[in-house]
Chains A and B, each alone.
Chain A
Amino acid sequence: MNLSLERIDLDAPLSGDFQAVVRLIIGGIAERVDFAFEEIDDLQLAVERLLAEAGQVGTVHLSFEVGQRGIRTRVGPLDERRVAVALSDGGGRPGQLTLKRILQTVVDSFGVDEPSDGGIVVRLEKLKGP
């Protein structure tokens, strides 16, 4: 997905108190791309579930690359083991509604980057609907 026109970076506390702020910022960014209500809700849900797996302590870095066709969001670095388990269908009980399943539903694509300084960064790509 080639959409890097503008970039916004944010360091946010993982404490639940700030999740509403993160959602509001995502809404504001997505509105600039003219995302539909439903698409904004999907992206907010994806980030919210990812942050839920990241714990409640410390801070998390989020970056948003904004283009005409959509938004690429990076979240991390996150604790590698915990998030890897959450993103793996095999990590849960059979048929469990996992983070992987949720992300597959609400974003167009997602992946994991491994920066040199440890942890993993989850990449979410959400395109604007037709």
Chain B
Amino acid sequence: MSLPARRSVAPERARVEDRLLLRRYHEGGDTSAREALIERHLPLVRSLARRYAGRGEALEDIEQVGAIGLIKAIDRFEIEREVSLATYATPNVVGEIKRHFRDKGWAIRVPRALQELNASMSGAIERLTGRLGRSPSIGEIADELKTTPEEVLEAMEVGSAYSTVSLSTGPSGDEELDPLETIGADDSGFERSEDRAALEPALDRLAPREREILRMRFEEGLPQTQIAHRVGLSQMHVSRLIRKSLGVMREELLG
């Protein structure tokens, strides 16, 4: 059964459809119902994420953090509740975003203008990559953002001052559900035993999505642009995750 996008139906009907999907997921274990609920409520996440835009992080990154809150809300929702899923999910999404900013914010003090430039770079790189069919040069990014190459380089560097949250790691550090896996990115092959064996053992400390990104980069030899496209993240985010993951692995190897 295919249900329409939530925003296109009347609120009452949407609530009824949500309940139907929640029952299918919670009582019948139907994960496709869960995926449908995520899809239907992503516009809510995007709307809430926009409130936190312009604070030094790319909107798409905030949306991905917000999606974690949405998934938690779907998973924790009790059918007996009288409240709608949208109402229940809103504080979960906002809480996840706020926690992200509080716990994983800028590690060093970075001028606001550079934070904003860093945040806008991600979109500029994606636009230029689509337009040019290749990764853009620093000069091209600077032209796109009407700034200088030096400022773009500085903004790239301040991105390293930012501690990227793992999209699969909750605030407690426990591995939790990865929204991107749920939404349907192609993870085929990741669980193949030969791949897992090839990347053992330090990779075990990483979240599944980060392991998959490393596998694509260093086993398949895919460029960041293709990895970003496959996993639905920005190139800058992929770059940060690769850096962070290699650092984590090295710590693990050093014991």
Contacts and interface: CB of A to CB of B under 8 A. Distances in A.
Contact of B139 (A31, A48, A97): A31
B218 A31 contact: no
A45 to B, nearest CB: 7
Judged by DSSP, the binding face of A is helix
Contacts of A102: 218, 246
B242 A45 contact: yes
Interface stretch (B3-11, B27-35, B153-161): B153-161
A53 to B, nearest CB: 9
A101 B198 CA distance: 12
A37 B137 contact: yes
A52 B250 contact: yes
Interface residues of A, number: 28
Judged by DSSP, the binding face of B is helix
B135 A97 contact: no
Nearest to B217: A105
B208 to A, nearest CB: 16
Interface in A79-130: 92-93, 95-97, 101-102, 105, 129
Contacts, number: 79
Interface residues of B, number: 39
Contacts of B141: 37
Contacts of A34: 137, 139
B163 interface: no
Interface string B233-253: 001000100110011011001
A69 interface: no
Contact of A95 (B199, B217, B246): B199
A41 interface: yes
Interface stretch (A2-10, A22-30, A59-67, A70-78): A22-30
B135 A20 contact: no
A60 B144 CA distance: 36
A45 B135 CA distance: 16
B150 A28 contact: yes
Contacts of A40: 138, 156
Nearest to A53: B250
A21 to B, nearest CB: 9
A27 B246 contact: no
A45 B243 contact: yes
A38 B135 contact: yes
A36 interface: yes
A31 B160 contact: no
B232 interface: no
A49 B218 CA distance: 14
B255 interface: no
Contacts of B197: 95
A27 B235 contact: no
Contacts of B223: 38
Closest 9 CB pairs of A and B: A38-B135, A36-B135, A95-B198, A27-B153, A31-B138, A24-B157, A37-B135, A41-B239, A34-B137
Interface of B: 125, 134-139, 141, 149-150, 153-154, 156-157, 160-161, 197-203, 214, 217-218, 221, 223-225, 235, 239, 242-243, 246-247, 249-250, 253
